[in-house]
Structure 1
Amino acid sequence: MNNPSSPVKLQGGCACGDVRYECTAEPVVSLNCHCSVCQRYTGTAYSSVRIVPAAAFRFVRGELRYHTSTSNAGHAVSRGFCPNCGSQVLGRIAEKPEIALISAGTLDDASLYPPALDLFTSRAQPWVVLDDRLAKFDEGIPAGPPNT
């Protein structure tokens, strides 16, 4: 449960404003996932996410509609979309209920917490220029922060 006295670290929402959220913790890790499932869901080359403790995340307005699929890592991932505008706002991994995956583009200040990792680079589109400053993993991370 959230502690109401904790300062809000992150805020954001969908494109139309029907869904708003806040998080009282800084991200555990920020990453770009190049897996084929993320490419399909985002409609582009990769998904940029900020992983936060689920207990620190809450919706302050609206509800999401979820779709669940199996990720390239074999996890059941539920992705939450605004039922009005279709923005992908949040992801949850069934096997890792302690975390929430915030879609970076939904943050009010998306420049905060730039990504530190590129996952599933073996599946990255050939026209994507990968940032040499980020740690690279051909597939998911063998141990450590969750992969999508």
Structure 2
Amino acid sequence: MNNPSSPVKLQGGCACGDVRYECMAEPVLSLNCHCSACQRYTGTAYASVRIVPSAAFRFVRGELRYHTSTSNAGHTVSRGFCPNCGSQVHGRIAEKPEVVLIAAGTLDDASVYPPSIDVFTSRAQPWDVMNPGLAKFEEGIPAGGPSTQTAE
């Protein structure tokens, strides 16, 4: 699908189409977060997130309404929702301005970058059946990035 000689272009938006974005870089990491904050914000068992470089991301239409809270990892996270349909589209971590979070379900083609890890599995619901092929981390992403099949 992507030509290696040209920039990757991810596109997506909210459910109603009022908010649209594009990213000219591949995700740094694709993950499922099972923390209690993500469970509450998504209204389900986990958030499937694509982390991309902030310099390569931009909104092409609309504006989001943000809600800021402290994550289970202690970070200040601002989650952006479409003010019309309520879709969670985007996130920012104050302590990591070099990246932004894209809700995987908002991508026009969410199948392109499947998740590679599960994080905060210690907070997963007992009925949440996780993919056994993904690396698991009981808490957040370990320092230095994911490199093992077990949590540090």
The question of 1:100 aligning with 2:74 is answered: no
**DSSP-derived class of the 1:41 partner:** helix
Match of 1:43 in 2: 43
Contact 2:54 2:98 in 1 (8 A): yes
Shift of residue 145, structure 1, vs aligned partner: 4.6
Unaligned residue ranges in structure 2 (runs of 5+): 1-5, 147-152
Contact 2:8 2:26 in 1 (8 A): no
> CA–CA distance in 1 between the matches of 2:144 and 2:15?
32
Percent of aligned pairs with the same residue?
A: 85
Contact 1:32 1:48 in 2 (8 A): yes
**For each residue in 1:29-70, what CA deviation from the matched residue of structure 2 results, as whole angstroms up to 9, or x when unmatched?**
100000000000000000000000000000000010000000
Shift of residue 112, structure 1, vs aligned partner: 1.0
Match of 1:66 in 2: 66
Code of the aligned partner of 2:75? H
Shift of residue 130, structure 1, vs aligned partner: 1.1
> CA–CA distance in 2 between the matches of 1:81 and 1:130?
26
The question of 1:32 aligning with 2:32 is answered: yes
* TM-score, normalization by structure 2: 0.90
Shift of residue 126, structure 1, vs aligned partner: 0.5
The question of 1:54 aligning with 2:50 is answered: no
Code of the aligned partner of 2:71? S
Match of 1:90 in 2: 90
Shift of residue 142, structure 1, vs aligned partner: 2.2
* TM-score, normalization by structure 1: 0.92
Match of 2:3 in 1: none
With over 3 angstroms needed to count, the CA separation of the structure-2 counterparts of 1:87 and 1:52, relative to structure 1, is: same
The count of aligned residue pairs is 141
Contact 1:29 1:145 in 2 (8 A): no
**DSSP-derived class of the 1:32 partner:** strand
**For each residue in 1:54-112, what CA deviation from the matched residue of structure 2 results, as whole angstroms up to 9, or x when unmatched?**
00000000010000000000000000000000000001000000000000000000111
Query: Deviating runs (4+, > 2 A) in structure 1?
Result: none
Contact 1:79 1:92 in 2 (8 A): yes
With over 3 angstroms needed to count, the CA separation of the structure-2 counterparts of 1:97 and 1:131, relative to structure 1, is: same
> CA–CA distance in 2 between the matches of 1:87 and 1:131?
25
Higher relative contact order (CA 8 A, sep 6+): 1
CA RMSD, 1 decimal? 1.3
Unaligned residue ranges in structure 1 (runs of 5+): 1-5
